[in-house]
Structure 1
Amino acid sequence: MLDVIHVNSLPVFLLILVRVATFFATMPLFSYRTIPRPFKLGLSFFLAFLIFYTVDAPALAVDGHYFLLILKEAAVGLLIGLIAYIILSAVQIAGGFIDFQMGFAIANVIDPQTGAQSPLTGQYFYIVALLFLLSVNGHHILIDGMINSYQFIPIEQFVPFQNESIVRYVIDSFNYMFLIAFQIAIPIVGCLFLVDVALGIVARTVPQLNVFVVGLPLKILVSFIVLLFFMSLYVVLAKHLFEVLFETVRSLTNLFGGG
């Protein structure tokens, strides 16, 4: 390996490896527990090895300035992968809104990919979204965006983390994630709200009928029927979600580079 990578270029290669490895640590799909760690490390190493020959960086000395660059590379990789994960989490937030109206709010399941509890409908939407992401080679686009980040954020350049525009952009992206989640959930939540209104009218007109016994299975039945017709619209919203995800990653790397 020393014959392939010159000893003087090892500091540059390590900086590339840090950014790639931290990006895979938070990126959707590659950061999940179900993917073995040796696979993540091996993929990060070989991808960094390929990027090493495409990045034009000067020789760096191992000193105090170099360790600051390591922290910068780790922060850039983590933030780029994390912003992509936050945008994709809009699917699970939408599932939480739906489950709350369906009566499934207490019936959470353990997500084996992240180890956290997730709503039933949100987990179903999330699996479909991941399959759609893989079918359109979205993971290739994310990796390509990380590789292109070296054009915006050179290795030897410090990132202006004190830049207010970066913080504002991350906050706006986080807020927009909830807006997308509301757009995904509003068809089913709106129909269940109409069911609640109908049950309230029935409870006032027919006091003998126990709406608490009838209402829960009725809302579950209506939500499944609406969900059956809603899946085609959900694919369109998922496509819009991925477009927002890719645009957010590109804009964030541009802001990191001072653009």
Structure 2
Amino acid sequence: MVGSLSYGPWAVSALLVSIRIGMVFAMTPVLSAIPMPAVVRVLVVLGIAAAMSAALPTTSYRGQTDLASLFGAACLEVSIGVLLSLGILLAFATFSVAGRVLDIQIGFGMGQLFDPATRQSLPLLTGAMTQLAVLCFFALDAHHTLLRALAYSFEHFPLGAPWPIQQSLPVVLRHVSGMFVLGFALVAPVVTCLLLVELGLSLLARNLPQMNMFVLGMPIKVIVGLGALAVWLGAAGDYVARIFNAVFHNWEALFR
């Protein structure tokens, strides 16, 4: 009986922690982009939650343990997890916006490929940029920063405690607008090259109206677009870092 009483509070805390962490991972491509069974993902979330619950005093649940109180606390953890995951999801959406812009400009928007990260049919560069976002996320060690930020969130949003949603809305809206700006800035040099190609093709079509500009322009835009993208991505490390840093800056604003 004594062992069960000492184990009960820790189990409740670990369950609530796993709900918050699980919502963050479920709504973002952090784990879904890596092929693994659903059971393994659940075990990863439970393992992280158990480790945090055992190591951090801020993850202890101090509320009532009746069924109604636990259900309310679980709903609060779901809402906080959704709020935190929104910032990460917007960071990956920035790469999708950049890829969508290039697909429209180059002409790849006419074709669709299945993207395992989002489980949707996406144009070529949109899916490629999503996979690039996952690769950069782990290459920049952002997953460790994510775990530290999740642990830090339990200090400002205790388990089962209400949180001021009205104060979070302006922060989220600023983050959404910033992601669109960063998404366009990520591929702005490539779009500029494509606009110059369009200008040259329009001048050529005006002087040689008998030529089929659609047949001639498509391969030219593909070659120029992919070539400019390959050159630009080698120097776009600062922009990529700014995209993921904006996520944690957004979280810092939420924690104030």
**TM-score using structure 2 length:** 0.89
Q: Distance in 2 between the 1:32 and 1:198 partners?
A: 40
1:14-54 deviation line (CA, Å, top 9, x unaligned): 22222122222123322447332111211222222122231
More helix by share: 2
Query: SS state of the match for residue 30, structure 1?
Result: helix
Q: Which residue of 1 aligns with 2:26?
A: 25
Query: Is the counterpart of residue 104 in structure 1 residue 113 in structure 2?
Result: no
Q: Which residue of 1 aligns with 2:43?
A: 42
Q: Which runs of 5 or more residues in structure 1 are unaligned? A: none
Shift of 1:100: 0.4
Q: Distance in 1 between the 2:91 and 2:22 partners?
A: 20
Q: Distance in 2 between the 1:79 and 1:106 partners?
A: 34
Q: Distance in 1 between the 2:16 and 2:98 partners?
A: 38
Q: Distance in 2 between the 1:104 and 1:8 partners?
A: 54
Q: Which residue of 1 aligns with 2:155?
A: 151
Query: SS state of the match for residue 31, structure 2?
Result: coil
Query: SS state of the match for residue 34, structure 1?
Result: coil
Contact kept, 8 Å, 2:117 with 2:131, in 1: the verdict is no
Contact kept, 8 Å, 2:77 with 2:160, in 1: the verdict is no
Q: Which residue of 2 aligns with 1:199?
A: 201
CA distance 1:205–1:166, change in 2 (3 Å): same
Query: SS state of the match for residue 216, structure 2?
Result: helix
Q: Which runs of 5 or more residues in structure 2 are unaligned? A: none
Shift of 1:196: 1.1
Q: Distance in 2 between the 1:137 and 1:160 partners?
A: 30
Identity of aligned residues (%): 24
Cα-Cα RMSD: 2.1
Query: SS state of the match for residue 29, structure 2?
Result: coil
Give the aligned length: 251
Shift of 1:99: 0.9
Query: Is the counterpart of residue 92 in structure 1 residue 96 in structure 2?
Result: yes
Residue of 223, 229, 239 corresponding to 2:231? 229
Contact kept, 8 Å, 1:55 with 1:150, in 2: the verdict is no
Query: In structure 1, what residue type is equivalent to 2:184?
Result: F
Q: Which residue of 1 aligns with 2:170?
A: 168
Contact kept, 8 Å, 1:8 with 1:59, in 2: the verdict is no
1:178-209 deviation line (CA, Å, top 9, x unaligned): 11111012111111111111111111122233
CA distance 1:210–1:61, change in 2 (3 Å): closer
Superposition pairs for residues 245-256 of structure 1, below 5 Å?
245-252=247-254, 254=255
Q: Distance in 1 between the 2:6 and 2:144 partners?
A: 26
CA distance 1:212–1:14, change in 2 (3 Å): closer
Query: In structure 1, what residue type is equivalent to 2:143?
Result: H
CA distance 1:19–1:111, change in 2 (3 Å): same
Query: Is the counterpart of residue 61 in structure 1 residue 62 in structure 2?
Result: no
Contact kept, 8 Å, 2:16 with 2:73, in 1: the verdict is yes
Q: In terms of mean alpha carbon deviation, does 2-11 or 231-240 score higher?
A: 2-11
Q: Which residue of 1 aligns with 2:16?
A: 15
Query: In structure 1, what residue type is equivalent to 2:27?
Result: T
Q: Which residue of 1 aligns with 2:136?
A: 132
Q: Which residue of 1 aligns with 2:52?
A: 51
